[in-house]
Amino acid sequence: MYSKFDILEHIREQNPEAILWDGFNDCIVGITEKGIVVYEMSLMIPKLMEEDMTPEDAIEYLEFNTWNTYVGEFTPIHIKLFDVEALQKALDGEGYQYY
């Protein structure tokens, strides 16, 4: 298992110009071969809820200030990882919610 420090060090070694969002290091789930940091969107929402935002406010904030922001060649990527069990329920017609 890697520590947060190990992950950040690996990112900086792979791409010293990689862009990191302040306060969301716990939400990093990977890095591309080009050195672009990959964040899991559903992990980012609770981080803002810790700052007394509602889930709706957190999503709105992230959509406007982070997920839809372009800051250059190394702008982070934001993904939604599928919950395999929830995805199976969706395939069975029970619905699926991303966040």
Between residues 13 and 4, the one the model is more confident about: 13
Question: Rg of the chain's alpha carbons, rounded to an integer?
Answer: 15
- pLDDT score of 82: 77
Q: Please state, in angstroms and rounded to a whole number, the distance separating the CA atoms of residues 31 and 46.
A: 22
Listed range (8-12, 32-36, 70-74, 86-90) with the worst mean pLDDT: 86-90
On the question of pLDDT at 78 being above 60, the answer is yes
Its pTM stands at: 0.79
On the question of pLDDT at 4 being above 70, the answer is no
Q: Quick one: residue 52, left, alpha or beta (phi over 0 = left, psi -120 to 50 = alpha)?
A: left
